[in-house]
Chain A
Amino acid sequence: MRKLIILKSLVDFVWIVTCIPMLLLMAFFTAYMFIDPYALDIVFDKMTFSDIASNTIKQIFGLLYIVVVSLSIYCLFIFRKTLRYFQKVKPFHLDVIRNFYKIGYLLSGIGVFGSLLFFIARLVSQGQFKINLGLSPFILLVCLGLFFMILSEVFKVAKQAKEENELTV
């Protein structure tokens, strides 16, 4: 239980210090990148976009990037919500199973979509057909997503066993 309190505090700390300011900054940035497209150079380095890439392409990819980051923040939000159920000692609640499945689904999606986004960005702006087969954060995200989906299925089994148990009693 003490570990759960530490984890919840850490997640809350990351949520308050990183995620909330980031959401505000992203809202501001979404508008600002259309006023001053050069602001996008802060987000995209020269490895992703060359100098010759047009501002419209950069803006489209900027928007997609913001969507991906927002979804990641939403995943952390759901995880934070799920930890509350653990604190209430309800680990096999239906919402926990649903939340885990949702997190898994979203993280896998972010991983696949993110790697595709960077692949297309390189192809469009630099004309490079480059596939990264090494360790990348996107592959780790897909792994984490699949792991959450498996956990959700395992928790579903435990929930059924618990319900059967309660019915018998």
Chain B
Amino acid sequence: MKDNTTILTVITYAILLGAVSVLLNDMHEFDFNQFEKFQNWAKTADKSESWFTSKNAIEWSYYAISTGLFFWRAYLIYGFSYFLSILKEVETGNYFSDKNISYFKKIGNIFISYTVGVLILRFLLAAIGESTFSFFNELKAEFTFLIPAGLAFYILAEIFEKGKQVEEENDLTI
């Protein structure tokens, strides 16, 4: 088991590192595009024009929603980082510790809240006309994996709680 745990820890570190770098790169690219847009706007902007126009409102909502999407992605990566804590506990032999139970619950929470959050933000993004929204496509992309995985982690937390009770009873008997 120790071998499997070590391999999984190394792969999880690699995945987390990859995911963080992809996220940072996407954020930088988004920021750069916005800056370019701003520069183009500044060249032709009319200072006497009111800043509160429907076009500006849409632009700002697009910016806010995109920031929200980045936040959810970062939150999902944070959720994945709990796997490292679980693996550390398993490696030390504390299989059914309270920490593991709470980590499983947290991962379940993060997976489900990410899916719901991203679905709502993508719907809003489509509503302001910046992208298209097809419920079935979103269903294919997010729901098929993350919702069942989130539920499975909740169930694992419950099973680990049961394992903890068994272990405690066993220790008391001895």
* Chain A interface helix/strand/loop/mixed: helix
Question: A29 contacts the other chain (Cβ, under 8 Å)?
Answer: no
Is B8 in contact with A146, judged by CB distance below 8 angstroms?
yes
Question: B27 contacts the other chain (Cβ, under 8 Å)?
Answer: no
Please give, as numbers and ranges, the residues of chain A lying within 8 Å of B148 by CB-CB distance.
7, 10-11, 14
Interface-forming stretch among B61-69, B119-127, B159-167?
Answer: B159-167
- For this complex, into which size category does the number of interface residues on chain A fall? 20 to 34
CB-based A-B contact count at 8 angstroms: 83
- For this complex, into which size category does the number of interface residues on chain B fall? 20 to 34
Is A158 in contact with B95, judged by CB distance below 8 angstroms?
yes
Is A146 in contact with B4, judged by CB distance below 8 angstroms?
yes
Residue of A11, A150, A158 near B90 (CB, 8 A) is: A150
A3 to B1, CA, bound (A): 29
What are 19 inter-chain pairs, A to B, with CB distance below 8 A?
Answer: A4-B155, A14-B148, A92-B166, A135-B19, A139-B11, A140-B15, A143-B8, A143-B11, A146-B8, A147-B83, A149-B4, A150-B8, A153-B4, A157-B95, A158-B96, A158-B166, A165-B166, A165-B173, A168-B170
